[in-house]
Amino acid sequence: MVTRRDFLKAAALTGGGLALALDTRIAKAEIAHHGVRGPSVFTPNAWIRIHADDTVVVVVDKSEMGQGVMTALPMLVAEELDADWGRLQIVQAPAAPAYINPVLGAEATGGSTSVSSSYRPLRVAGAAARLMLLRAASLRTGIAMGHLHTARGAVLLPDGRRLPYGTLARAAARLRVPHDPPLKSPRHFHLIGRPLARIDTPAKTTGQAIFGIDVQRPGLLLGAVRRPPTVNGRLCDYDARAAQGLPGVLTLVRVDRGLGVVATDTWAAWKALDAVHFHWDEGGCANLSTPAIRAWYRQAATSRGAIAERRGDARSAIADAARVITADYEVPYAAHAPLEPMNCTAHIHDGLCEIWVPTQAQTGAQITASRLTGLPVSRIVCHTTLLGGAFGRRLEQDFVADAVTLAKTVPNPVKVVWSRTEDMTHDFYRPYSYHRVIGALDAAGLPIAWQQTIVAASLMRTRDPSAIKNGVDPTAVGGAVGMPYRIPHVEIDYVERDTRVPVGFWRSVADSYTAFVKESFIDELAHAAGRDPLALRRTLLAGDHEQRRVLDAAARVIGWGRPRARGQGFGIAVHRSFGTSMAQAVSVRIRSDRLRIERVVCVCDCGLVINPNIVRAQIEGAVAFALQAALKGPITVANGRIQQRNFDSYPLLRIDEMPAVDIHILPGDGPPRGMGEPGVPPVAPALANAIFAASGIRYRTLPLPQVLR
């Protein structure tokens, strides 16, 4: 696991030490990776390469895991560069200091920061290169720069002649890079804002795209791992005599908490592990179970926790209120369950360690490989492949450690592919959380107090303890603090509880459970007061124009207030996360006690939209992801063991269960904001509210039932 100190060590090298330490072999590897060949290449910065043959290469420094960065980020460069969009070549960045994500402090992809953190840097990169090309053309022709223009990958002369960028590459490479070039006004954008087709679609359609699981290297060997059946267990001893004689089995070696095997093929590796007799230490978790966790958390919710947010005096207001409503909410563990299982290929040779990995955290992968091999970070070459889903799971480094550990035992490259069972039972899950919420209404039926106790594990306790301030982990209470509703007295408490079930960053993090509680309970307060849930929200959001705007739009599209058919219900929720405001309205119909989701309306304000098709795809994917978590699963524990082992016991949403999704993107002010995660949080509460509207039954525990009783 990568700690904050490790990240800071890596960041400390970015002042130049790491770049200077890159030896010739790594430099050549990076050049080959970018397609750079010789001094005639114009390389004004880390993201642009223009060759004499007029090839324009854009380097993408975020991991492509389906969110569209291979298209959206080059659009930023090409817009300011005035490149010919149809002739661009896109390559994945290596792990290098130039590609440190300024928001995350490492080369990493997460937190819905890909476009927002790249918006200005990539535009500046393109604008600087364009100015240098204009300057080179001016020097060549003697024409003042003010009389030159650029379009579609060329400098345009007053007489109509074109100087393709490639013909200016050598001259431009000799010029000084401008540090603060002027950027286009949005009214002059010709690429940004257009629904351009995704660049990576053809390769994925034809099977040419390379995901981590597809990596092939000369002499490649295959590896597999087996870890304890309990969540906190470890390997004590093993008898591998029956495995060592099996065809294709080369070696067995201990990995973190378990055992790995290197073989000539994956099947041989898996069969070898099946033949091993293991002696496990169950890690003191043999009696851990979901009912025990629930009871422990429920009891903790009655105690006073650390104060995450306080305004006014909620407890006194509740004591004096005309009416008090109390409710307990429960949100279970959830798996990431990407379709591509965890995998990594590693090869240690010639004083280097090369890894090919579908990762969200290149810096972390380098540090992990460095720690295991003893090689400096400068000699760890990280090749990032496409990611077959991630959702936060590939921020972890356990699968990287497995591949590097096994590669240390053989001269060949080794590809480790986890089985689906290993992937499902050794995840870093969305934390289980329990919430006690107390609301107070005044005589007019308006909320005057809100007191919420959140009981959940801390993500930062083992990652960055310094982030925990006054007993509050911000990753555990996100979406609950900063209450947007104008309620005079608010108190949010946090009680940390560690069950030793591994937890991690799951798409939308705490917002995935705090939004469910906030938007369900505000609905409860509305019904308790005899008020319309939409009208109450509008009243309480009087000072938040943006959230009120998306809320009104979602209500209008779903047809809020119109007569409903028997068994039909509308539910609505609004939430801001990662800078983006998202309202969702759900229409359901209940017949013979069976739930059918008819439609999900999504309205967002995410600032400037780079590519509306990508935004729509992100929202559609988020809705599917959120519906799976709201209706399927959950991850449960019995006798210290995760009970779900594959998609038969942890089912995904099927295509015939997916409702129509109606997306509306409102024009927003300012630069782009996060988009990968905001589509998740409002889904569950909007659905729960719709079920209540249709049936009169209030569900406060996820997953929600599909057969109502």
Structural domains in the chain plus CATH codes: 28-198 (3.30.365.10), 212-283+342-417 (3.30.365.10), 290-334+429-695 (3.30.365.10)
Contact 483, 490 (CB under 8 A): yes
Dist CA 252 CA 274 (whole Å): 13
DSSP class of residue 463 equals T
Report the interhelical angle of 398-407 vs 362-373 (nearest 10°). 40
Q: Which backbone phi and psi does 647 adopt, to 5 degrees?
A: -75, -5
560 Cβ neighbours under 8 A, 6+ residues apart = 534, 570, 572, 585
Q: Please, what is the end-to-end C-alpha distance for the chain in angstroms?
A: 44
Pairing state of beta strands 162-164 and 154-156? Answer: antiparallel
Pairing state of beta strands 48-50 and 42-45? Answer: antiparallel
- Joined tokens for residue 383: 């090749």
Q: Which backbone phi and psi does 110 adopt, to 5 degrees?
A: 175, 175
Contact 516, 329 (CB under 8 A): yes
479: left (phi over 0), alpha (psi -120 to 50) or beta: left
- Count of CB atoms situated within 10 Å of the CB of 656: 5
Question: pLDDT tens for residues 462-510?
Answer: 999 999 999 999 999 999 999 999 999 999 999 999 999 999 999 999 9
R_g of the chain computed on alpha carbons: 27
Contact 379, 26 (CB under 8 A): yes
Angle, CA of 194, 198 and 200, to the nearest 5°:
160
Is the peptide bond prior to 703 cis by the omega test (within 30 degrees of 0)? yes
The C-alpha torsion from 678 through 684 and 690 to 695, rounded to 10°, is 180
Beta bridge partners of 155: 150, 163
Q: Mean pLDDT, consecutive 10-residue segments, the chain of 709 residues?
A: 37 27 30 49 97 96 98 99 96 95 94 97 98 98 98 98 97 96 97 97 96 98 98 97 96 98 98 98 94 98 98 98 98 98 99 99 98 98 98 98 99 98 98 99 97 99 97 98 98 98 99 99 99 99 97 99 95 99 99 97 99 98 98 96 98 96 96 98 99 98 92
Global pTM value: 0.93
Contact 382, 92 (CB under 8 A): no
Question: pLDDT tens for residues 562-592?
Answer: 999 999 999 999 999 999 999 999 999 999 9
Is the peptide bond prior to 678 cis by the omega test (within 30 degrees of 0)? no
Contact 260, 416 (CB under 8 A): yes
DSSP class of residue 188 equals G
335: left (phi over 0), alpha (psi -120 to 50) or beta: beta
pLDDT given for residue 451 in this prediction = 99
Contact 383, 442 (CB under 8 A): no
CB-based burial of residue 199 (10 Å sphere; 0-12 exposed, 13-18 middle, 19+ buried)? buried
DSSP class of residue 104 equals T
Dist CA 582 CA 26 (whole Å): 44
pLDDT given for residue 39 in this prediction = 61
pLDDT given for residue 25 in this prediction = 29
CB-based burial of residue 246 (10 Å sphere; 0-12 exposed, 13-18 middle, 19+ buried)? middle
